[in-house]
Structure 1
């Protein structure tokens, strides 16, 4: 079973792979002992398998960033009683290079592990004749895809970032790498995902592995997301359709939305989710529970999902109160709730982190269709999502015409907020809509973000946000000090 091998892999690789990447005096300066990785580890298919599974473990160290980078600068999160000053500064758009949230070190550690697999795995087939070419290719697909996820987050968060494609596996390999442009990084992601799609399996034959490891369909979902960001709408639709027409995925029923997706996990709707367990806890207990670091704005709770004016108890959007949020204490509830009245304990904090699910893919296709003169398809998809969620009319009262491109985009954006709240999507959704057509809709970003900034900080924040360079985080001061080839992002010079 995937989860059992998952934890065995942590032990197997701790001496040979993970422990060789712990001395980080520079962001890519990951110093192992010369020769250990190549000569003493990469010998058998079992060692290769454990190294690949350990890539997923290493992603656990980036999970908090998936949420923070994807949500904290947007309009659906505010500081809690236990927020750090760095958190507050990000919400208020008062971000300096010394802010700890700007550290990308954990992402490059994952990237280096992926590079290590990609560099050393091919030689294993020459040393272990029980390793087949198909198995090797599947492992390479996993490493390519996980590396692509890391670079996609980095490029959307920082803009231009260093593109390191070879392993820092010995002291002689250490290099200080300058930045590549965002376009160069994304083009490499596209190329890598095309290769990975050809190598990946469609199924491992076990549900937890099909949902928790890279398959062709998780690659297709990531491709769709990348293409949508790049405004390659026909390619986005093609990638989405590979998932839609596969017959392997379906939206869970409305009554089971919260339990199937976030309590049980690995549902029929899930495409790719990072697996947690009582041996491998997620970071969300202290983020969303006592001591409360982040919470939902009261306005979101009261008005966003809406309450029926006649029967607010029995008629409600199933994705809102007691699902995405809890009304009594403004909890962000998706990752800490077991039922409307029961919160997870610390030792039960293992809700999975969902990268992609079927509803997300449908909404990505809807957005691509809105920008491809296929507006009726957009309306049909959004209607399907709203019907499943039992959305109330007041949450999106104006249905646009099939030819109103801006209206269609706003309609999809609103529905993504309702459906995918707190899944690390919101800031990237706002920025993607704002930057389209050379920032023709920057008002989308400004009008959303200003809602959660205190009145005395709003004007300063808006002035910064009007500069598109402000939409990317600064490079952390530590990285600049230790890598002279890095140049600070323009807004923060």
Structure 2
């Protein structure tokens, strides 16, 4: 592959297509013209890069499936009148064998390609066609993609076959004597073991080990910073630990990622303090005129607006201070952004919308300034042409008047993982690790405020903050939020405020941590997940994880029943009964 075609490869990622020299057999439908063995396509680092790009291109093809399974099966999304029977089945948990959304094969097809690429990376390393450094980066990345896919399989199907060897077809998995199903917990153990050090957890370096930037997968193409395309491995490993109940290990991963900016910037500029932390500098629920709720800052392009998390066209510092993993759908290339068909009533099929339960949850909140309703709801769901539209997934397609910029140009982003997700998962892990006060700080008002001591009887903060504004907890919970004048000091957590404060909501009852109320604090975190992360593909996992942890899936069942009851759906009781059993929460596994 010639260097001058390298930019084209990135456009291939956006197109979910493949260059003719792509590396693995299952990623191409025709044999090369010279009929050489397919392994001969793995000759250079460029061929390895093409395999990586091809797999991420295939990953784009399941973006709609990811959102539908993780949101429609839970409590925040409901089908519209336009939805077909198969979407309605997911909604009511009455899935039939022919339901295409319940088919695990699309996940396994990508896994098979991951297996094939990983095997050939091994061959390339042994033949010295990849340096150790280039091999480490590419192998760890594709292995992480495979772990992400297996986690989705476990969440939705429970016990599934786990295979890491290349297979010709997914149909081979039907032989259970060769590929027995693993329980979800056993699957998690396998995934964790495959990702833990000495496997690399770093991202792609800006330049390759050979010193030539042309071989690096970390660059910028057509305004897209490609480092955001690739799965963030520590966040994923943290999630695997969280699912498995290894809370200290999970927190260790989350803590490392949250301090990325400070660590890389050395604390030398403001941006280093706020990257990957909800903070008082960016993406706020705020008003341009105090006391006037009609002046909500509600703009795609203003970095001080919470809404701009989901539609800021700037692909640089502002976006990457919140987004950790996001894959773009470019208007000039296939595949078409699938979220327009799912959610938009302008140029789309408008199949899904916010549930009444989700809207009620937002509407029942009271902001710190006594305005009624959580403004994140107003910016997540819009009334367009008289219909409630999930706009959070459409802001790269809609302008500030909520009209498509161009109905034929369906640009957008698959928003996979961001700072708020990271911090709320960190809070969940800390809570279950008996660090309830840390969890409170992460969710609520931040380390600085939660651990802010005052002079007795005065209510004033001492100017010397040497021994306050920090958790004084054991690692990885020893977080420093100091913001002092005498001596002058800025701790890496001094700007962090928690997603509730960023949303202009009052602090939760401090009795949650003062009385060490683990379960109640966990409930508050999951409620905050619903308000902050709605429609981003996190909800089913959040509800299922807590249910399994508590030893009863009635927690999840109650949430789904509440959604169906509000809609007057006759399947509410049946769905509750089914989901109250552990086997009932999983889809039937059929290949």
Report the alpha carbon displacement of residue 343 of structure 1 after superposing the two structures with TM. Answer: 3.8
Q: Secondary structure at the match of 2:358?
A: helix
Do the aligned partners of residues 158 and 351 (structure 1) sit closer, same or farther apart at CA in structure 2, a change above 3 Å counting?
same
Do the aligned partners of residues 8 and 353 (structure 1) sit closer, same or farther apart at CA in structure 2, a change above 3 Å counting?
closer
State the match for 1:490 in structure 2: none
Q: Secondary structure at the match of 1:151?
A: helix
The structure with the largest alpha-carbon Rg is 2
Report the alpha carbon displacement of residue 124 of structure 1 after superposing the two structures with TM. Answer: 2.7
Q: Secondary structure at the match of 1:348?
A: coil
Determine the C-alpha separation between the residues in 2 that align with 1:32 and 1:152: 34
The answer to whether residue 219 in structure 2 is matched with residue 206 in structure 1 is yes
State the match for 1:243 in structure 2: 257
Report the alpha carbon displacement of residue 225 of structure 1 after superposing the two structures with TM. Answer: 1.1
- Mapping 1:374-453, distance limit 5 Å: 374-383=435-444, 384-391=498-505, 400-402=512-514, 403-439=516-552, 442-453=553-564
Normalising by structure 1, we get a TM-score of 0.84
Q: Secondary structure at the match of 1:342?
A: coil
Alpha-carbon deviations, 1:93-144, whole Å to 9, x = none?
Answer: 2122222111111111110111111001232346675x42211211111110
Determine the C-alpha separation between the residues in 1 that align with 2:373 and 2:99: 39
State the match for 2:26 in structure 1: 20
Determine the C-alpha separation between the residues in 2 that align with 1:299 and 1:398: 27
State the match for 2:87 in structure 1: 87
- Mapping 1:333-344, distance limit 5 Å: 333-337=391-395, 338-344=398-404
Do the aligned partners of residues 72 and 174 (structure 1) sit closer, same or farther apart at CA in structure 2, a change above 3 Å counting?
closer
Within the candidate set 178, 184, 187, 2:186 is matched to 184
Q: Secondary structure at the match of 2:95?
A: coil
Report the alpha carbon displacement of residue 183 of structure 1 after superposing the two structures with TM. Answer: 2.2
Report the alpha carbon displacement of residue 387 of structure 1 after superposing the two structures with TM. Answer: 0.9
Report the alpha carbon displacement of residue 356 of structure 1 after superposing the two structures with TM. Answer: 1.6
State the match for 2:478 in structure 1: none
Do the aligned partners of residues 304 and 253 (structure 1) sit closer, same or farther apart at CA in structure 2, a change above 3 Å counting?
closer
Alpha-carbon deviations, 1:433-474, whole Å to 9, x = none?
Answer: 1121422xx442232111222442222222212211101111
What root-mean-square deviation, in Å, do the aligned CA atoms of Structure 1 and Structure 2 show? 3.3
Alignment coverage as a number of residue pairs = 461
The answer to whether residue 368 in structure 2 is matched with residue 257 in structure 1 is no
State the match for 1:270 in structure 2: 323
Kept after mapping to 1: 8 A contact 2:24/2:117: no
Report the alpha carbon displacement of residue 299 of structure 1 after superposing the two structures with TM. Answer: 4.4
Kept after mapping to 1: 8 A contact 2:328/2:414: yes
Which range moves more in the overlay, 255-264 or 85-94? 255-264
The answer to whether residue 146 in structure 2 is matched with residue 147 in structure 1 is yes
Report the alpha carbon displacement of residue 389 of structure 1 after superposing the two structures with TM. Answer: 1.7
Determine the C-alpha separation between the residues in 2 that align with 1:271 and 1:369: 21
Q: Secondary structure at the match of 1:106?
A: helix
Determine the C-alpha separation between the residues in 2 that align with 1:399 and 1:268: 32
Kept after mapping to 2: 8 A contact 1:72/1:78: yes
Determine the C-alpha separation between the residues in 2 that align with 1:211 and 1:137: 19
Do the aligned partners of residues 200 and 355 (structure 1) sit closer, same or farther apart at CA in structure 2, a change above 3 Å counting?
same
Report the alpha carbon displacement of residue 378 of structure 1 after superposing the two structures with TM. Answer: 1.1
Kept after mapping to 2: 8 A contact 1:43/1:124: yes
Do the aligned partners of residues 311 and 240 (structure 1) sit closer, same or farther apart at CA in structure 2, a change above 3 Å counting?
closer
Determine the C-alpha separation between the residues in 2 that align with 1:174 and 1:433: 30
Kept after mapping to 2: 8 A contact 1:317/1:392: no
Determine the C-alpha separation between the residues in 2 that align with 1:94 and 1:40: 48
Determine the C-alpha separation between the residues in 1 that align with 2:133 and 2:86: 46
Which range moves more in the overlay, 3-12 or 88-97? 3-12
Q: Secondary structure at the match of 2:535?
A: coil
Report the alpha carbon displacement of residue 346 of structure 1 after superposing the two structures with TM. Answer: 4.5
State the match for 1:487 in structure 2: none
Do the aligned partners of residues 258 and 459 (structure 1) sit closer, same or farther apart at CA in structure 2, a change above 3 Å counting?
same
Kept after mapping to 2: 8 A contact 1:52/1:139: yes
Kept after mapping to 1: 8 A contact 2:368/2:504: no
Alpha-carbon deviations, 1:352-378, whole Å to 9, x = none?
Answer: 222221111111111111112211111
Do the aligned partners of residues 326 and 433 (structure 1) sit closer, same or farther apart at CA in structure 2, a change above 3 Å counting?
farther
Q: Secondary structure at the match of 2:38?
A: helix
Determine the C-alpha separation between the residues in 2 that align with 1:108 and 1:14: 23
Determine the C-alpha separation between the residues in 1 that align with 2:238 and 2:365: 33
The answer to whether residue 354 in structure 2 is matched with residue 296 in structure 1 is yes
Determine the C-alpha separation between the residues in 1 that align with 2:237 and 2:98: 33
Determine the C-alpha separation between the residues in 1 that align with 2:150 and 2:422: 20
Alpha-carbon deviations, 1:186-233, whole Å to 9, x = none?
Answer: 11210122158526336535362221124xxx1111111111111111
Pick 1 or 2: higher relative contact order, CA cutoff 8 A, min separation 6: 1
Determine the C-alpha separation between the residues in 2 that align with 1:470 and 1:244: 36
State the match for 2:267 in structure 1: none
Which range moves more in the overlay, 316-325 or 226-235? 316-325
Alpha-carbon deviations, 1:387-423, whole Å to 9, x = none?
Answer: 1122368xx7897344111110100000011110011
Report the alpha carbon displacement of residue 156 of structure 1 after superposing the two structures with TM. Answer: 1.0
Kept after mapping to 1: 8 A contact 2:62/2:106: yes
Do the aligned partners of residues 199 and 461 (structure 1) sit closer, same or farther apart at CA in structure 2, a change above 3 Å counting?
closer
